[in-house]
Structure 1
């Protein structure tokens, strides 16, 4: 019985039994074009462009060893995975190019799974150009395309697709939180989670098919179907938990939308310049200086954010300012976090009272669970207060005192921003893996939708098909059965040499 059940597990892992597979016919399109071309050896500069102390040039493919011998005029390859000092020479003319460290990585124990070699040369442009030209003259070598090294690692099973995406995010990470999240994904946490879920569905599918074929057999345990039903419902709950948190990972990767809003001359532009540490917005005592929405990506307390400076909210005196106010109100509705800025010395003005009533009040009156947005109320120009530490208006909602002129209160504001952004983006150092891309969200939603049709009490054949569809989405999330168009979209984010 158990031998038969194991056969079912293997069959379930292979996917549905199509008419073609049952007849034993072959499919000429089964070979993925994502695999590297046979016999092709690629090379590229893997470190950054420009003058530097050391530049890294790598090659990958079956002719890597020949390329290393050609440039070092050595008959024997150096010890694997150990740095060796060698004189590099042009194989055509014998002219010395550089004295460099070389590292030999025989496949499959390399990044790409192929034979690889790295040349750590001096980073002058002439040295790098000379070594690249020498490699180009070696038969069987060609320049690499963008992302081709990583694509070969994927094709040889060194990385799954979620790990590839984690590597891309790590290369592009600009904040501490992005680095931590990308490193967790590169380490395979999201892929391992999806593999575990796929194994659960494989086991459930094997049990359902066993019941279809041997439902009346005395050798089949009575609770086989109920165990499958229990596992599927537990998986549904886990998927629901991750789908509820989906926006957090996407915010962490792309940046939370932080909108700075308030009445004219409250200091919004000064705050944007202070947080971005550069003159993004024009600062002037004249009301209505900012007419359009000015956006800048910033690192706020270690989290990525898109900071938007908006026009002062008031009844505009002209059509241009009125349009600016309309755009400001539109961005307020789209914000993940609102920085509401008021002039602490002008709280009694009609503009400040209207802003408190129309923007701050409605958002603060809701319970945390009902709020669609987070809000921090900042009272700027605290340097104009007569007494240090004096609360100008205790009846206001919770607020922070700040002086953009002196910087007083900035540390408290950054700590508050860190708390708010951690809630919006999630903690990249703890908790379950985050869903950072729309592709992840799509496949998990499709998996969850398929499991909603799993009703073995009605029709076992349809229940089994629901499990196959759900498992297929988990497989595609980690790279199995991915289309060439999807792979091109992902790998185009990589630079040449990676």
Structure 2
């Protein structure tokens, strides 16, 4: 959780951000549809008065109380359930918050929402507005907000773990540690500037700063080179490529356990990219079936072959699928990793060439071993000890910081101290963009739009 004093402009009276927070917002925070329980949340200055009107006596702070919820205009009972009162600033949004735990029928939800919206100053929340208010109040930083968004979207166990780590501040702490090291180097340079006026510069100030800058540049470059966290968030991509009629679509269907692609004996059946999503060992894996690679005069098939080559270049792993009885040298350029897999290995005459795996899509021979190997490769390609960069926005900020550091390092001997300090300030500001310390107004709408209404 971040110190609100890091964001002095967030709640200043009269600022656009303060005006954004004056309304009281309300939304259903649980999924729509019939359910045993639904939770309606209010946040803002009218949350307490609205709770009084709907539920009678306000419960003790942070204690659930059983209440009858009534329509304020005629006191008709709409439902009975639990009411919670969470006064700010010790709440998720930093504002006064009220929660109504009611029965999850659509008519009940609609009636309670309508009754609350009749209270002056209460309006429906926009997508992500509760979390946005938490950010503006300094309850979360921007990297933690993005981690929360990923947690809501997580579909596999590994994604859940990574998102929870980021939403708990692990990435923020790592970036803040880098920034603190930069600040320390800046302090050495500034001290050298200050002492130079007195003609008594302490020994080693500039060299200590230089050593920290060199070390930090190495760390930032390593973080940029590590794409595992981003790969886990987006999915480990596996492209199945190879000659026509090797069994690519059949292998995709077997991995997906459904008929995701059309299978036919006629060459050239697959002309477009077909993707299917798998959960292998808790890791999201996107398997891509592609058009058979061959020369063709058909314009549609030519485009399919072009797309196949593009998929091979961008995939994390390429499976070159070939006929075990008629092996073909892989025609793939620029692949990050390539496995040669021979299909139809159960047929008479099938060779034992240089393939990494021998399988039969028809009989299932070797398929489980291939899936186990895929699972291990996906886990290895997405797991890391340190909290990694999960978005292009993080990568852009670190890249800009590294550019400033490299300019400082490369011109170190000729740079005046004032210019070196300015380059370090630029690098620190770029790192601050990851957590939202500086310059994030242009990305806020985009970040919070990914949330559902009520979060």
- TM-score, normalised by the number of residues in structure 2: 0.90
Q: Find the counterpart in structure 2 of residue 47 from structure 1.
A: 30
Aligned-partner Cα distance in 1 for 2:340–2:73: 70
Find the partner of 2:386 among 417, 424, 432: 432
Matched, 1:155 2:136: yes
Structure 1 regions of 5+ residues with no counterpart? 1-12, 15-25, 364-370
Contact 1:36 1:152 in 2 (8 A): no
**Greater alpha carbon shift after TM alignment, 372-381 vs 127-136:** 372-381
Matched, 1:396 2:354: yes
Q: Find the counterpart in structure 1 of residue 3 from structure 2.
A: none
**Greater alpha carbon shift after TM alignment, 210-219 vs 235-244:** 210-219
Shift of 1:103: 2.0
Aligned-partner Cα distance in 2 for 1:111–1:84: 19
Q: Pairwise mapping of residues 79-94 of structure 1 onto structure 2 (< 5 A)?
A: 79-94=60-75
Matched, 1:73 2:27: no
Structure 2 regions of 5+ residues with no counterpart? 1-5
What's the secondary structure of 2:139's corresponding residue?
coil
Aligned-partner Cα distance in 1 for 2:363–2:62: 55
Q: Find the counterpart in structure 2 of residue 378 from structure 1.
A: 341
Cα deviation, 1:305-347, whole Å, max 9, x if unaligned, reads 3322112223337444344333323332332211222233xx2
Change (3 A) 1:243 1:169: same
What's the secondary structure of 2:20's corresponding residue?
coil
Find the partner of 1:494 among 428, 445, 451: 451
Change (3 A) 1:33 1:174: farther
What's the secondary structure of 2:319's corresponding residue?
strand
Q: Find the counterpart in structure 2 of residue 59 from structure 1.
A: 42
Shift of 1:465: 0.6
Shift of 1:292: 2.1
Change (3 A) 1:78 1:409: farther
Q: Find the counterpart in structure 1 of residue 234 from structure 2.
A: 254
Q: Pairwise mapping of residues 453-468 of structure 1 onto structure 2 (< 5 A)?
A: 453-454=407-408, 457-458=413-414, 459-468=416-425
Aligned-partner Cα distance in 1 for 2:397–2:109: 43
Change (3 A) 1:485 1:408: same
Matched, 1:445 2:399: yes
Contact 1:35 1:152 in 2 (8 A): no
Shift of 1:36: 5.5
Aligned-partner Cα distance in 2 for 1:479–1:32: 17
Aligned-partner Cα distance in 2 for 1:357–1:486: 43
Aligned-partner Cα distance in 2 for 1:243–1:305: 22
Aligned-partner Cα distance in 1 for 2:271–2:413: 63
What's the secondary structure of 1:434's corresponding residue?
coil
Shift of 1:100: 1.1
What's the secondary structure of 2:16's corresponding residue?
coil
Change (3 A) 1:162 1:297: same
Q: Find the counterpart in structure 2 of residue 296 from structure 1.
A: 276
Matched, 1:33 2:16: yes
Q: Find the counterpart in structure 2 of residue 126 from structure 1.
A: 107
- TM-score, normalised by the number of residues in structure 1: 0.82
Contact 2:342 2:355 in 1 (8 A): no
Q: Pairwise mapping of residues 197-346 of structure 1 onto structure 2 (< 5 A)?
A: 197-215=178-196, 217=198, 221-245=202-226, 247-316=227-296, 318-344=298-324
- Calculate the aligned-residue CA RMSD, in Å: 2.6
What's the secondary structure of 1:358's corresponding residue?
coil
Shift of 1:30: 11
Aligned-partner Cα distance in 2 for 1:31–1:433: 37
What's the secondary structure of 2:135's corresponding residue?
helix
